[in-house]
A = this chain, B = another copy of it.
Amino acid sequence: MRDDPTPRRPTLDEVAERAGVSRTAASRVLNNAPNVSRAKREAVLSAISELGYVPNPTARALATQQAGAVALIISGEDPAVLADPFYGQVIAGASTVLEETDLHLVLCLATSARGQVRVRQLLRARAVDGVMLMSLRGDDPLTGLALAAGVPAVFGGKPLHREVPYYVDVDNVLGARQATEHLISRGRTRIATLTGPLDTEVGQARRRGYLEAMTLAGLPYRAEEGGDFTERGGVAAMEALLARHPDLDAVFAANDNMAAGALRVLHRAGRAVPTEVAVAGFDGLTVSENTEPPLTTVHQPIRNLGREMTRMLLALIAGERPSPLILPTTLVQRDST
């Protein structure tokens, strides 16, 4: 079944020899470049299929000075960030776009010291033709590294405190405002918020959206507690919130995970949802369908985020100068409000 230990794959030279042409001619056929006679082209083509020739991507990469791959770099404290299905969606989106090209996707987790080092090497060695970076904290050194590396870089989500030329983001402010306004339209006035980490742009933006809505509606009530986008964090934050603001009648959680945690706390505390307390989340992941009751949430087009980041990166690699992109969100109304 298995061939000899080292079948030594055919090279372009062998193809050329078999077809009775020069290596260059064969190369031309491969990259269907002009200036090859019909006869030679066919000779090469059949030599290729007879020999089962497959071009060596490494050699090609060396000659063309292009890696043939782009990286998706995910930063974070802990490899567990990937447990969030969010990234799966981003990856899926990126993949569908890359599928149409001849670029591969290399995945880098910069979640440990060692991981950071590897990313740095990746960038410095120009091992990829471009990078997409996600979930960077405000002070993440990766932002600077990526920009300094001079390799095409697209950011998923605007980094905090830093201007970057190319990014795709979701309209977090507007989405949060929508959610809060929805709660207001339900007659709630004492609306609290569980914020995300405030050293991220997402965390800040969603909080801002909440504040905008409250201000615009002329509601003076303010109550917030910081979370970390995990359900566990949501539980802790909701407990604190409830202790300090027992009069709240609605909660806008900055993501679904925290909202799920909040629901459980409210449930334990005997607060009926949505009658006594209404809850809205943000993300629109499947978590939000599984909660009790199903969660009203702001759906963000995550798959699209991945797709658009990739498209932007491809444009960048192609030498264009794409504009930053902000994707819209939509409110999904379920039973928690």
Contacts and interface: CB of A to CB of B under 8 A. Distances in A.
Interface in A146-183: 150
Contacts of A56: 62, 125-126
Interface of A: 2-3, 7, 9, 54-59, 61-62, 67, 69, 79-80, 82-85, 87-89, 91-93, 95-96, 99-100, 104-109, 111-112, 114-115, 118, 121-122, 124-127, 150, 231, 260, 264, 285-287, 289-292, 303
Contacts of A104: 106, 108, 122, 127
Contact of A9 (B88, B91, B112, B126): B126
A109 B92 contact: yes
Given A99-B118, A107-B107, 8 more contacts: A54-B121, A56-B125, A57-B125, A61-B61, A91-B107, A91-B109, A105-B108, A231-B286
Given A290-B260, A290-B290, A127 B88 contact: no
Nearest to A291: B290
Contact of A105 (B7, B106, B124): B106
Contact of A88 (B54, B58, B69, B85): B85
